[in-house]
Amino acid sequence: MEFELYEGQVYRPPSEAGSLIVQVTSGCSYNRCIYCSMYKDRKFHLRPFEEVLLALRFFRSRYQSVPRIFLADGDVLALSYGKLLRILRSIRDLFPECERISAYGSSRNLRSYTAAQLQELHLLGLSLIYMGVESGSDAVLEYVRKGQTRELLIESADKLTEAGILISASVICGLGGSAMASEHAEATAEVLNRIDPRYLGILRLTIDPGTVMEQLTASGEFLLQSEYGILEEMYQLISGLELSECIVRSNHVCNLVAVSGTIGYGHEGKAALLQQLDAARQVYR
C-alpha cells in the first residue's frame, strides 16, 4: 500500500518542535474563520486508519525513543470517539515510552465528546489540548466567524479539565480591531480566568493575504489596531488574569515583543510580565 506520511503543509504549535508529528486528519474541519489562511489548499478529511497505522509502524522502525507525539492537523477532535480511541490504543501499543500526546481541539468539536469519553482518551495518553480561544467576547467571535461562543468555550474547557486533560489556550490581540479592543481584552481575561489553562499563548493579529479580513481591512471596515494599541490590549489582558498556575508566552514571530512568565499562586510572573510590557509601551508610544 502506497501512502504519504504527510499531506500538504502541516502546522504545529511552537512548543511541539521536538515532538513526533503524526497526521491523523488533513486540513481543518471548519475552515471559515475570516482571518485564517491555513489549510486553504485542501478539503478536510480523516486519514484512513490503515494509513495512520502504517505511519506509526514506519516511525517506530526509525525512532528508538518517542517521548512526545503531536496529532495533526487542524482539529483532531473532528474524529469520532471510536476512531480516536483506536489510534490512541495503537500509539500505546507501539510507543509505550510516549509520555505526552497532544493535539489541537476546538470547542465546536468538543461538543460531541463527553467528559467520560475524554477521560478514557486521557487514560490512553491524550494529555494536552491546544484550544484556540482567540477572544472571550461574543461580539468579536461572531465578527471573525469563529463558530464558537464564550459559553461553549467554558463548557468545553470544563469537560477537558474534568477529564484531567491540560489546556493550552491561545488568544489573539488585535482581533477586535481598534473598535472592540477594550471589550476584547476584558472579556478574554474573564473567559481565561474561568477556563484556567495551564499554558497561554498570546498572539497578535496578522493580516494574511487572500483572507476576508484582508478585504475588510483594505475597505476600511475593519480598523486595525495600532502597535501601541496592541501592547495596551496585552497589558489590559494580563492585568485582568487571575489563574491558578499558567505559563504565559508571547514569543511567536507575529508578536511585537517577546514576553514570558508564570502567573499563579506563589509566582510573581504577572508583575514581571506587566513590567516588560510597560517598557515596550514606552518604545511604541
Q: Is 261 in the site for ligand SF4 (CB under 6 A)?
A: no
Distance CA 136, CA 128 (A): 21
Residues 13-32, one symbol each (x = binds ligand SF4 by CB under 6 A, - = not), give ---------------x-xxx
* 105 near ligand SF4, rule: CB under 6 A: no
As measured in angstroms, the least distance from the Cβ of 183 to ligand SF4 is 21
DSSP H or E stretch at residue 188: helix 181-195
Contact 269, 244 (CB under 8 A): no
Residue 132 or 261: the one with the smaller Cβ distance to ligand SF4 is 132
Cell 513526533 found at: 20
Segment holding 280, helix H or strand E: helix 269-284
Among positions 43-62, residues that touch ligand SF4 (CB under 6 A) are: none
Q: Cβ of residue 99: shortest distance to ligand SF4, in angstroms?
A: 26
> Residue 107 CB, nearest distance to ligand SF4 (Å)?
10
Rounded CA separation 231/257 (Å): 9
By CB under 6 A, is residue 79 in contact with ligand SF4?
Answer: no
Maximum separation of any 2 CA atoms in the chain, in Å: 60
Q: Does 74 bind ligand SF4 (CB under 6 A)?
A: yes
Smallest gap, in angstroms, from Cβ of residue 31 to ligand SF4? Answer: 5
Instruction: Name which of 56, 21, 54, 25 is nearest 42 in CA terms.
Output: 25
- Residue whose grid cell is 493550552: 168
* 130 contacts ligand SF4 (rule: CB under 6 A): no
Query: Applying CB under 6 A, which residues contact ligand SF4?
Result: 28, 30-33, 36, 38-39, 74, 106, 132
